[in-house]
Amino acid sequence: MSPISPQLLSWFLREYGPALVLYARQWCHTPEDVVQEAFCRLAEQDQVPENVPGWLYRVVRNEALNVSRSEARRGRRESEVANRSPRWFEADGADQLDAQQIARLLPELPDDQREAIVTRLWGQLSFEEIGRLSGSSTSTAYRRYQAGITSLRERLGVACPQEKTNTDQTNTSRK
């Protein structure tokens, strides 16, 4: 059993908790978790630290710095993975769609069009799979997808890219 009674632990939490959260916030995005961890460690101590507030601040600081480093590593790793993955949208070029604008406009689309776009682009499902998922035919899934893309392009004022004609395709294959 911990040498700190639940009542004393509760008093420490009320007395120092809010300031500790503020203190941890300068280093990490989850200060409440850091403070909770510090109080859990306090409860696990065999002996009550001589200077409990000082001990709590030191534990919170160390834990917040560890969490901050972990968040930074995770961010770098996620960035590296994202950079290796193929882009869903390309913001370069006048005829391309911008991902941030699309994210803002997606909720405005009808549910069936939004579902078709999200499952096709992010889920990488085939139109047949989208049709099964939504309880519709493959051609309906395709039409919903196309209607959603067209709607997004209209709202953004971006023209649809020109499709290659048979002549263009023939000339390209001869090169």
Please tell me the predicted confidence (pLDDT) of residue 95: 45
pLDDT in tens, 92-131: 444 455 677 777 888 889 989 988 888 888 778 899 989 9
Model pLDDT, residue 17: 94
What is the reported pLDDT for 175?
Answer: 45
Question: In CATH, which of 1.10.10.10, 3.30.1330.60, 3.40.50.1820, 2.30.30.60 is domain 99-160?
Answer: 1.10.10.10
Residues of the chain with pLDDT under 50: 92-95, 164-175
| pLDDT value at residue 21 | 93
Q: What is the pLDDT of residue 69?
A: 94
Distance between CA atoms of 34 and 67, rounded to whole angstroms? Answer: 8
Domain coordinates in residue numbering, the chain:
6-84, 99-160
* DSSP string covering 126-161: -HHHHHHHHTS-HHHHHHHHHHHHHHHHHHHT-PPP
Report the amino acid identity of residue 142. Answer: Y
CA 163 to chain centre: 34
